[in-house]
Amino acid sequence: MDLLPVSTQALAARVLLWPRTGHAMSLVGIRHALSSPAISITEGLVLAVPSVAIIAILKMVSYLDRPWERERDLSDLAHILHEYPPADDDRLFEGEIHDRGLTLETALPFILGREIAVLVDTAEADAVQRFLQRVRTSDLPRFVANGPWSRFEPEQAESRLDALVQGFSMPSTHVNHGK
């Protein structure tokens, strides 16, 4: 659980400035976490629980803020691409998955990409695209090293990233929710 001292002004600006360090933290995507369905943990304690797609967006944004120290975000994203959605998800058996020739390993990130695409607004879509560009070019070795696949088979990570891009890039799924 993360606690952030975020004002309505910071939310509107999509940036949190830390006074002591001067660090600017992007709040792109945070609106999704704040509006996620809540569950009651105990009497008097209710927490919003974001979906995996929302967590993926936030991890991408967080990584872009400080890539030199956000190995955990790369690791979390690699594991999400490897394990989400669960193998019994009905979407894995849709005709489109078969028509595109996707394997189980590439259908998972394709579906995640579609989920992300319907959530994001312009600024969030830009952050996702910047993350994917950075990882697919300069940070691929770090992504592979932080993933559940063998570092000697980077094509496993690349094929999952390619499938995520395919799902995210589907024009029929993009919806603009705000700025």
Q: How many other CB atoms are found less than 10 A from the CB of residue 177?
A: 12
pLDDT (mean) for 79-107: 95
16 confidence band (pLDDT: 50, 70, 90):
confident
pLDDT (mean) for 13-38: 82
- Predicted TM-score (pTM) of this structure: 0.85
Residue 87: pLDDT over 70: yes
Residue 90: pLDDT over 90: yes
